[in-house]
Structure 1
Amino acid sequence: MHTHSNFCDGKGPLSDYVARAQALNMTSLGFSSHAPVPFDCKWCMKAERLDEYIAAVKSLAQNSAGLEIYRGLEVDFIPGMIGPKDFASKLDYTVGSVHFVDALPDGTPWEIDGLHTLFLEGYEKIFQSNIRDVISRYYELTRAMVETSCPTVVGHIDKIKIQNVDGKFFDEHDAWYQDQINQTLRTIQKSGAIVEVNTRGLYQKKSTTPYPSPWVLQRLHEENIPITLNSDAHHPDDLTNQFPETAALLSSIGFKTIMVLHEGTWKPFSFNTHGLHP
């Protein structure tokens, strides 16, 4: 349910993803291009293409026998500017993500999951090189998104960890960091939103663990917060990249089901390393 095509920064047309999903005998495929934002962003969809995108996904959904296709967007949350609720009425579902944390001194929104040099710029100029303040603000924004513009699915909840190369900024076992995660999970639990388990960091080799980390997955399981498994594919070949390995991890933690959008409703499906089963 988390895929990107050439309507944003993905590779290839929607039809290529459909063909690959059919070859993989997938149950459902959701398109979730990066939603337009009201400033220049090279990896987001252009606002003038939104209607074309929605129409294209609808057309594929009507003409792809054996595969359910759903229209979604990955929507950024920036307070007072954009959030998942802004697009929800046009879609089957939304993925809500935080890619930007406040703004640089010149007013440019600060992207936290791009180049490390850009991360360091905001770390120094906005937060005076205080990583605890950076991380706390990131999770504060995630909670604000869930509370004020709740998405269907909360995207790559701890993706900011990709900037923590070799643990140079923080340890995920630090009490203050775990407190931020726990606060965020409590907020999500109250909302009823689904948390995605995202494999992109694994196959891109930007992380040795999925988003979120295994200890966070353990907390999700303990709190009975529903999850879905996504690859954040930017190429058709990545639709199920690292799914078997991640399914094994989820099973070892104790998860029995993952949520899938099926017949128009999010439903729990049993799974194993080979895929879904009724």
Structure 2
Amino acid sequence: MLTDYHNHLERGTLTLEYLKQFTDQAKQKGIEHFGISEHAYHFYQTKNILSNPWVDERRFYDMDDYVKLFQQAWDANIDVKMSIEMDYTPGKHKEMEQFIKSYDFDYVIGSIHWVEDFGIDLGEFKHEWDRRDLKETYSKYFDQVVTLAESNLFDIVGHLDLVKIFNYIPNDEEFLMEQYERATTALANSKTCVEISTAGLRKYVGQLYPDPRLLNLCYKKGIPIVLSSDAHIPEDVGKDFDQAIALAKSVGYSKLMTFNKGERKEVSLG
């Protein structure tokens, strides 16, 4: 079986017609477990969690409309999971928990896109990589991975090593492995699964998330996985899954985790 749990409607509309383009593509790709996980910062209800000039310009959805869309899909017998991708925000655990519990999500993805005021994956901030200390940025990023895991608020951590997106990667192998070790130890002690995401293949770095060394530690520590494409257009659903499956199997994985209203079940990796 296959999953694709990380997908976005933000480049289109919150309509059944647009959603169906994604679910139809998933069906064509043989993906049995498919979900939409829109960015939480788009919704008015998350202003008390994450707010900065970049985010606030892009806050244009209401959660009521989002929930209604999924209800329409289920009424039409469309099998799609309702999720959210939330920017993990240090110091906002109570607010994040309150938001998550307010909706009947099938699962929740927690991701790190911000290191303090630095949008690490945004083109508008790319120049900052040359102005900041690389190891310090990596340390602060993985600090958040650890506390994200320790919060136990999330079912899946999105693109675990997104910090490499622009190919700014420390040459210090020992330093990198230290970050991977502490991140995976925290994840192993939580309920959080890790996604193998093909999105990195479409980014500047040109690599899957996570790095094979990082995924190998996940496997050794018993951290479950899902597969995700992080599609922002229907055509990218399930894209390059052959590479994701090969990576998963190369480190030893033979099962994927699936979600349904917070319930989880392992299935064989197809």
TM score, norm. by length of structure 2: 0.84
- Please report how far the alpha carbon of residue 85 of structure 1 lies from its aligned counterpart in structure 2 after TM superposition: 2.5
Distance in 2, matches of 1:193 and 1:96, equals 9
**Structure 1 runs, 4 residues or longer, greater than 6 Å off:** 7-10
Distance in 2, matches of 1:158 and 1:9, equals 29
Contact conserved, 1:3 with 1:234, CA < 8 A, in 2?
Answer: yes
Question: How many residues are matched?
Answer: 254
Letter of the structure 1 residue corresponding to residue 175 of structure 2: W
Contact conserved, 2:109 with 2:155, CA < 8 A, in 1?
Answer: yes
Letter of the structure 2 residue corresponding to residue 246 of structure 1: A
Q: Which residue of 1 aligns with 2:178?
A: 179
Provide closer, same or farther for how the CA distance between residues 77 and 205 of structure 1 changes in structure 2, counting only shifts above 3 A.
closer
1:244 aligns to what SS in structure 2? Answer: helix
Distance in 2, matches of 1:44 and 1:72, equals 22
- Please report how far the alpha carbon of residue 267 of structure 1 lies from its aligned counterpart in structure 2 after TM superposition: 1.6
Provide closer, same or farther for how the CA distance between residues 74 and 139 of structure 1 changes in structure 2, counting only shifts above 3 A.
same
- Please report how far the alpha carbon of residue 123 of structure 1 lies from its aligned counterpart in structure 2 after TM superposition: 6.0
- Please report how far the alpha carbon of residue 226 of structure 1 lies from its aligned counterpart in structure 2 after TM superposition: 0.4
- Please report how far the alpha carbon of residue 9 of structure 1 lies from its aligned counterpart in structure 2 after TM superposition: 9.7
| Unmatched 5+ stretches in structure 2 | none
Q: Equivalent residues in 2 for 1:137-152 (5 A)?
A: 137-148=140-151, 150-152=153-155
Residue 121 (structure 1) aligned with residue 128 (structure 2): yes
82, 89, 93: which is aligned to 1:71? Answer: 82
| Unmatched 5+ stretches in structure 1 | 104-109
Letter of the structure 2 residue corresponding to residue 184 of structure 1: A
Provide closer, same or farther for how the CA distance between residues 81 and 63 of structure 1 changes in structure 2, counting only shifts above 3 A.
same
Q: Which protein, 1 or 2, shows the higher relative CO under an 8 Å CA cutoff with sep ≥ 6?
A: 2
TM score, norm. by length of structure 1: 0.81
Q: Which residue of 2 aligns with 1:17?
A: 22
Q: Equivalent residues in 2 for 1:262-277 (5 A)?
A: 265-271=263-269, 276=270
Q: Which residue of 1 aligns with 2:244?
A: 246
Distance in 1, matches of 2:12 and 2:67, equals 13
Q: Equivalent residues in 2 for 1:74-113 (5 A)?
A: 74-81=85-92, 84-89=96-101, 90=103, 91-103=105-117, 110-113=118-121
Distance in 1, matches of 2:62 and 2:260, equals 27
Q: Write the deviation string for residues 211-270 of structure 1: whole angstroms up to 9, x where unpaired.
A: 101111111111111011100011111111010122122112211111122586322221
Distance in 2, matches of 1:34 and 1:181, equals 25
Distance in 2, matches of 1:88 and 1:8, equals 24
Provide closer, same or farther for how the CA distance between residues 17 and 253 of structure 1 changes in structure 2, counting only shifts above 3 A.
same
- Please report how far the alpha carbon of residue 157 of structure 1 lies from its aligned counterpart in structure 2 after TM superposition: 0.9
Residue 154 (structure 1) aligned with residue 153 (structure 2): no
Q: Write the deviation string for residues 124-147 of structure 1: whole angstroms up to 9, x where unpaired.
A: 3xxxx3211111001101211222
Letter of the structure 1 residue corresponding to residue 33 of structure 2: S
Q: Write the deviation string for residues 68-91 of structure 1: whole angstroms up to 9, x where unpaired.
A: 311111000122347753432212
Contact conserved, 1:9 with 1:234, CA < 8 A, in 2?
Answer: no
Distance in 2, matches of 1:30 and 1:251, equals 23
- Please report how far the alpha carbon of residue 6 of structure 1 lies from its aligned counterpart in structure 2 after TM superposition: 2.9
Q: Write the deviation string for residues 27-55 of structure 1: whole angstroms up to 9, x where unpaired.
A: 12111000025334469963642210121
Letter of the structure 2 residue corresponding to residue 54 of structure 1: V
Identity, % of aligned pairs? Answer: 26
Provide closer, same or farther for how the CA distance between residues 179 and 156 of structure 1 changes in structure 2, counting only shifts above 3 A.
same
Distance in 2, matches of 1:268 and 1:140, equals 29
7, 10, 18: which is aligned to 1:6? Answer: 10
1:74 aligns to what SS in structure 2? Answer: strand
Letter of the structure 1 residue corresponding to residue 135 of structure 2: R
